[in-house]
Structure 1
């Protein structure tokens, strides 16, 4: 417990000031977190981080992570052309490696790159939208998670996804979403001018994103169970990896893009 607290305090002392300041400093931090997230995928796949496939994977995810105003080389905003190029290189490497690196490996790595790359990409763009927009995303994930945990411990009886995450319950899940709607609803009431939709529409979007946050948590639990690991990484002592700490927000942020918030 002491280790968890120390790690949390140190991480927050780094993350929160950079979140508030924004700009390139925050973008650099987020790009670094996205690359670490990719390394965690590769490690779960039991790929050496200095192997050819890993180096190509890092280049691919960098194309999704790096803000387009940093390097005006690839077209289409977040360098889709570069990402597609490195995907083709990975496919070609299946031939060069004589199928030691297989088509299934390519699929898993590319999916991991999209998950980590675009998730953290939209964290950068949410902050560029405004501090209040990214705080909205974090509030949903934090309150949903905390509410689900606290309410689930008190009244949770019906298992939500026992084969993926045995401790989660329907009661906790519903409680987490209700908590998010109430508390984030107060935030929205005082910050209505920040968001492009009316108050009631934003409450509906909050319900949708709160459910998405819980799916993000379950998705990460599912692939960790698939790979037979307890944590995605060890970079945060007592907390696991970057993907462990940001699993919910990595789904919430792209969903915010789809509903027109970022």
Structure 2
């Protein structure tokens, strides 16, 4: 627990100023996190990120996330979708020349990983461009949910939320996490004006709180399927990038899909 708290404080001390600064600094950190996250997914699958398939996937991931920044040097129709389509074609062709070392399943995991990780981090960057206040609101909602679900779950949790996927999570903790997130988001909105905020914003924060928990469960499902305790060990006490950013990778695309980003 002590190691987990210390790591969280160090991460916050680094990540919050980076988010506040935005621009190239945030983009650089996101690029590093995205590549590490993809490498963790490759490792869980039993593949090497330092391979032809891995390099193709990294290039496609970077193109997907930073497609807007690359539009001045690439054809106009070469958008984020084009990077996914191109990666799919090349990776599928690679299954022909890999001598069965890279299969259709491997290609599918690579392509889905690019979408999963890329869409999440791309949406985070786009949210920052819209406004720091909105980004902080969403991050506060995610972090409050995680912290309160954990604390209340340990204290009053009795009914398992998804025992076959994540035995320690409880329904009571999940509900407490969402309720706490709504309260904290309400306090934040009372004092801070957020661009695009409406009377439905708290309802959206409740949905994002639940979505973040699903993101956590999805990551747990990955690890259980691949029989892995943590996706990585870059964050002591927290695991890897996919462990720490699992909620974020689910929540920010939803902001995009509902039209706030």
Bin of the TM-score, shorter chain as denominator length: over 0.9
Correspondence 1:9-158 to 2 at 5 A: 9-70=9-70, 72=72, 73-75=74-76, 78-158=79-159
By how many angstroms is 1:9 displaced? 3.6
1:217 aligned onto 2:206:
no
Q: TM-score, structure 1 length as denominator?
A: 0.93
Q: Deviations over 1:179-234 (max 9, x none)?
A: 11111111122334x232423x1111111111101101000000011111111111
1:65/1:146 CA distance change after superposition, 3 Å: same
Correspondence 1:236-255 to 2 at 5 A: 236-255=235-254
Unaligned 5+ segments in structure 2 are none
1:147/1:94 CA distance change after superposition, 3 Å: same
Q: Alignment partner of 1:166: what SS?
A: strand
Q: TM-score, structure 2 length as denominator?
A: 0.93
Aligned partner of 2:234 in structure 1 is 235
Q: Deviations over 1:104-141 (max 9, x none)?
A: 11111111111111111111111111111111111111
Paired residues, what number?
260
Distance in 1 (alpha carbons) for counterparts of 2:152 and 2:9: 25
Aligned partner of 1:176 in structure 2 is 177
Would the aligned equivalents of 2:234 and 2:241 in 1 still touch at CA under 8 Å?
Answer: yes
Q: Alignment partner of 2:169: what SS?
A: strand
By how many angstroms is 1:15 displaced? 1.4
1:104/1:244 CA distance change after superposition, 3 Å: same
Distance in 1 (alpha carbons) for counterparts of 2:108 and 2:35: 18
Distance in 1 (alpha carbons) for counterparts of 2:90 and 2:218: 28
Q: Which moved more, 1:91-100 or 1:60-69?
A: 60-69
RMSD of equivalent CA atoms: 1.7
By how many angstroms is 1:19 displaced? 0.9
Over 4 Å off, 4+ runs? none
